[in-house]
């Protein structure tokens, strides 16, 4: 079964470029396009894509606005989103993390990286490059902000902290297991424990909470 992808970007050339790349990959299918956030919201509701590639800056409704609308709509809250970015705005990165984006992707990314990013987000992984985690940490310095998670009820174990740091690098459970020399099922259980202890519901928010607590 192919992974169904929606492209949301106000630049037609960018959409054409992404479509051309994705069409070279047999297991991925572009099911639609949108030129602004409002149109993107309608297309997501209509098409229910597996992954949406979303630009940050768009007319009518920008990428962050679209993300907020998705997360506030019970029927669309589970939409998996890869944010297209140039990594030039720490505030945007931080706000996207808070809003629950599943990952970040450069617009000029090569085909192999683009395809693998889409596959991983479709599987439920989070893509947060280490450089972005560092930028988010810098953006948080001196300006702790409200965050919808519980206070840390108990400390993380040493192994859980290792897993969390690898999660912050965007590694999947399988890749973390390989890096630590353990079973993927064990990592899955440890990741669940990390989310529970941090009081958050997904890996992206776990990384952000860990940054706020100074754990990374």
Residue 178: give its domain's CATH number: 1.10.10.10
59 and 118, same domain (yes or no): yes
27 and 73, same domain (yes or no): yes
Q: If you search the block for the tokens 């941090």, which residue do you land on?
A: 198
62 and 7, same domain (yes or no): yes
90 and 41, same domain (yes or no): yes
The whole-number pLDDT of residue 137 equals 63
Q: Lowest mean pLDDT of 40-49, 62-71, 170-179, name the range.
A: 170-179
- Residue 146, pLDDT > 60, answer no
- Residue 145, pLDDT > 70, answer no
Q: What is the mean pLDDT of residues 37-59?
A: 94
Kindly report the backbone phi and psi dihedral angles of residue 84, in degrees, each rounded to the nearest multiple of 5, phi listed first. Answer: -85, 125
CA distance to 123, 131, 176, per residue, from 160 (Å): 22, 21, 11
The whole-number pLDDT of residue 149 equals 46
Give all strands (DSSP E) within the chain, no chain letters: 3-8, 28-34, 51-55, 81-85, 103-106
Residue 132 is assigned to a structural domain of this protein: no
- Residue 31, pLDDT > 90, answer yes
102 and 165, same domain (yes or no): no
Residue 155 is assigned to a structural domain of this protein: yes
How many domains, the chain?
2
The whole-number pLDDT of residue 171 equals 76
Cut 0.85: pTM above it: no
- pLDDT-derived band at 201, boundaries 50, 70, 90: confident
122 and 144, same domain (yes or no): no
Residue 134 is assigned to a structural domain of this protein: no
- Residue 131, pLDDT > 80, answer no
Instruction: Name every residue whose Cβ is closer than 8 Å to that of residue 54 and which is 6 or more positions away in sequence.
Output: 8, 9, 40, 63, 66, 67, 81, 82, 83, 84
**Residue 29 is encoded by which pair of tokens?**
């299918």
The whole-number pLDDT of residue 15 equals 93
Residue 8 is assigned to a structural domain of this protein: yes
Question: Which among 104, 127, 150 is the end of a domain?
Answer: 127
Question: Which among 127, 162, 195 is the end of a domain?
Answer: 127
Domain that holds residue 101: 3-127
- Residue 43, pLDDT > 80, answer yes
Q: What is the mean pLDDT of residues 156-176?
A: 84
The whole-number pLDDT of residue 19 equals 93
Residue 133 is assigned to a structural domain of this protein: no
β-sheet bridge partners, residue 52: 6, 81
Q: If you search the block for the tokens 């989070």, which residue do you land on?
A: 126
84 and 177, same domain (yes or no): no
- 183 or 201: which leads in pLDDT: 183
Give the rounded percent of residues in the chain with a pLDDT score beyond 90: 40
Question: Which among 127, 152, 171 is the end of a domain?
Answer: 127
- Mean pLDDT for the chain overall: 84
The whole-number pLDDT of residue 138 equals 64
């Amino acid at each position: 079964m192919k992974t169904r992808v929606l492209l949301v970007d106000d630049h037609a050339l960018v959409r054409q470029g992404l479509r051309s790349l994705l069409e070279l990959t047999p297991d991925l299918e572009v099911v639609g396009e949108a030129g602004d956030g409002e149109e993107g919201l309608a297309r997501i509701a209509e098409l229910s894509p597996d992954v949406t590639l979303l630009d940050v800056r768009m007319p009518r409704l920008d990428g962050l606005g679209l993300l907020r609308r998705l997360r506030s709509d019970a029927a669309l809250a589970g939409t998996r989103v890869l944010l297209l970015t140039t990594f030039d705005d720490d505030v945007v990165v931080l706000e996207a993390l808070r809003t629950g984006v599943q990952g970040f992707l450069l617009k000029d990314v090569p085909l192999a990286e683009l395809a693998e990013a889409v596959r991983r987000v479709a599987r439920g992984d989070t893509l947060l490059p280490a450089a972005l985690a560092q930028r988010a940490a810098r953006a948080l310095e001196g300006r702790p902000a409200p965050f919808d998670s519980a206070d840390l009820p108990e400390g993380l174990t040493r192994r859980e902290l290792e897993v969390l740091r690898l999660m912050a690098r965007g590694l999947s459970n399988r890749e973390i297991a390989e890096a630590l020399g353990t079973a993927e099922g064990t990592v899955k259980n440890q990741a669940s424990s990390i989310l529970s202890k941090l009081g958050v519901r997904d890996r992206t928010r776990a990384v952000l909470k860990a940054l706020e607590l100074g754990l990374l």
